[in-house]
Copies of this chain bind each other. A is one copy, B any other.
Amino acid sequence: MTTPNIDQANSAAVERMMSARPILTGVATARDVIPGMKDNLLLHAGPPIEWEQMSGPMRGAVIGGLIFEGMAKDEAVAVSMLKAGEIEFSPCHEHGSVGPMAGITTASMKVYVVENITHGNKAFSNLNEGYGKVLRYGAYSQEVIEKLRWMNNVVGPLLADALEAIENGIDIRALLAESLHMGDEGHNRNKAGSTLFAAKLAPLIAQLAKEKSVAAEVLQFLGNNALSVLNPVMAACKAMADAGHGVEGSTVMTVMARNGTELGIRVSGLGAHWFTGPVGQPDGLYFPGFTADDASGDIGDSTITETVGIGGFAMAAAPAIVTFVSGTPHDAINATLEMYEITVAEHEHFTIPALDFRGTPTGVDIRKVVELGITPRINTGIAHRDAGVGQVGAGLVRPPMNVFEEALVAYAEKYGFA
């Protein structure tokens, strides 16, 4: 067996991540486009998990997903189906897909379709529901389900028409590069990106909506949601990360995701295996009336942003975010500087004006994480621990060290050294 040159393999993996050009080309129904999607399957955030182990918000979102699909008329029916094992679960990540927070994606849901035109792979993400009581934070009241249906029946098809009318789609890497120059970090702060996204779609939505009032409602929905672009951004990041996966000998992390109970990572040179450990509790700022006691464990696939060099890794681009996640602008700069320690490259397309346009730290090398004892920084929303409540704050968290250690052991076993 030849010894792989690890640094070369890592450079190749990160070069593929950075040269991936993710284009948002459409909106389609999950069962029609997501590989392996089927009617009794629910995709969820993070590594594999079954009903019994799920946290409150994940359970709430699962119940809501079944009600949304018309498979259960209420919570009681949903829970009995779940206990009877009638529903299958699979990680979004195992289907080229990603979802924020609980990440529950069902067969009938409309999803964004992103194509990496450099390497040909595709990725998917559901639509963003905005704020308040939302499925992704585990809420499943009638109001939540009705909003999801409106999104599926009105917003999704109109976005599909608008995207079809845009020649060559929307280049999400370019949109992210621009929004990093406008105070976004692309994970927890997407105000600039979402506004650019809404403004770009607005003429098409106005033109293509069947009725003016529908155009107005959809534009209001997009315009009032500073996270509207998060989901296409996540799909774009998934397309970039997947491009870097599967490079023989590479120790670059290509997946980092949380299901509310466990965080899991995958590594470019280590195939489909998940390395998992218990999720952390985000440290951050809570909305009025809530404290850390209300918080669920860390949850969501949105750490795909950090995986490709933005989010918590690009905090220096977004000093205003500290009013939302805690800390000072100086801490934000330091967060980014620290991540250079454990990454392979500086991003060719994502740059930080405040750091003299230095590229964001990109491609976590699990060797460096273990060697330096520095885990990746994650910039995240915080869900309430109980199903059905919703978001209670936002803050910062890190993955457990054991996942990197175990991955490195597996690497040594596979390649004979590390």
Contacts and interface: CB of A to CB of B under 8 A. Distances in A.
A203 interface: yes
Given A206-B205, A209-B206, A329-B354, A200 B215 contact: no
A205 B357 CA distance: 37
The number of times this chain is found in the oligomer is 2
Given A195-B196, A206-B212, A320 B353 contact: yes
Most buried by B among A220, A330, A354: A354
A178 to B, nearest CB: 8
Nearest to A207: B216
Contacts of A330: 356
Interface in A220-275: 220, 222-223
Contacts of A202: 198-199, 202, 206, 219, 223
A130 to B, nearest CB: 14
A195 to B, nearest CB: 5
Q: Is the interface of A mostly helix, strand, loop or mixed?
A: helix
B216 A204 contact: yes
A183 interface: yes
A331 to B, nearest CB: 11
Interface of A: 181-184, 191-192, 195-196, 198-200, 202-207, 209, 212-213, 215-217, 219-220, 222-223, 319-320, 322, 328-330, 353-357
11 contacts: A181-B320, A182-B183, A182-B320, A203-B217, A203-B219, A203-B220, A206-B219, A209-B212, A215-B215, A329-B357, A354-B354
Given A203-B216, A212-B212, A330-B356, 17 more contacts: A181-B183, A182-B182, A183-B183, A183-B192, A192-B195, A195-B195, A195-B199, A199-B222, A203-B215, A203-B223, A205-B206, A207-B212, A319-B354, A320-B353, A322-B353, A328-B356, A329-B355
